[in-house]
Copies of this chain bind each other. A is one copy, B any other.
Amino acid sequence: MDYLLRGTEVLHATVRRYTSPDEHPFFKDLPAPILPAEAYDYPIKKTDININNHIKEIYINKILSAMCVEGDDGQYGSSALCDVAALQALSKRIHYGKFVAESKFLSDKEAYISLIKAKDKAAIREKITNKSVEERLIKRVVLKAAAYGKEIDHTALDQENQKQKISPQLVADIYEKWLIPLTKDVEVDYLFVRGC
């Protein structure tokens, strides 16, 4: 899987994927873009925060084991392609925390500045947490997983009895246990590094 992930990133680096503020590579020694640099409007502070190693470890050891059934179907190539797509999506989703944190910072500068000056990570984490937003997100994830995990067919618009490809509750659990906390890690790290 690392072979495919690195190969994909090498290719994507050459079309300047990782010069975009919302993309973070898993590998470091990637080639330079062959396209000319894009003059991005960089809406957040530039940092080198990149928790992809941690994301990969959690993906392999926690998320995959929660989602997959035991056994070996021999489909190593296509499984690894799915892993690459999933890891890149997770990385993008979690590192969006930087944008979220910047927005939260701007909406309440004074309070954040005093917490950052006090180097109080726990208090920053507490301040960025909005339980009701998280609960709404989880509900939305359940709905999305239920909708996308079924076949949409005009003969079965009432799909109560259709088999789900994946348990919507399991997807919600993965958000609750891993995606939301990892995003918060990025938010806290970003605010800490951001300074005032």
> Which residues of A come within 8 Å of B, CB atoms?
3-4, 7-8, 11-12, 14-17, 20, 33-35, 38, 74, 76-78, 80-81, 136, 139-140, 143-144, 147-148, 152-155
Question: How close is A92's CB to chain B, nearest CB, in angstroms?
Answer: 12
Chain A interface SS verdict (over half): helix
Query: Roughly how many angstroms separate A55 CA and B155 CA in the complex, as a whole number?
Result: 31
Q: Chain copies in the assembly?
A: 2
Contact B154 A139 (CB under 8 A): yes
9 contacts across the A-B interface (CB closer than 8 A): A7-B11, A8-B8, A15-B80, A35-B76, A136-B155, A140-B153, A143-B154, A147-B152, A148-B148
Please give, as numbers and ranges, the residues of chain B lying within 8 Å of A38 by CB-CB distance: 74
Q: Which listed residue (B3, B34, B77, B148) contacts A17, Cβ 8 A?
A: B77
Contact B152 A143 (CB under 8 A): yes
Please give, as numbers and ranges, the residues of chain B lying within 8 Å of A12 by CB-CB distance: 77, 81
Question: How close is A23's CB to chain B, nearest CB, in angstroms?
Answer: 9
Most buried by B among A17, A77, A140: A77
Query: Roughly how many angstroms separate A135 CA and B17 CA in the complex, as a whole number?
Result: 40
Closest to A145 in B: B152
Query: Roughly how many angstroms separate A103 CA and B34 CA in the complex, as a whole number?
Result: 46
Query: Roughly how many angstroms separate A143 CA and B157 CA in the complex, as a whole number?
Result: 10
Question: How close is A32's CB to chain B, nearest CB, in angstroms?
Answer: 13
Question: How close is A38's CB to chain B, nearest CB, in angstroms?
Answer: 6
Question: How close is A166's CB to chain B, nearest CB, in angstroms?
Answer: 15
Question: How close is A78's CB to chain B, nearest CB, in angstroms?
Answer: 7
Q: Which listed residue (B7, B15, B76) contacts A81, Cβ 8 A?
A: B15
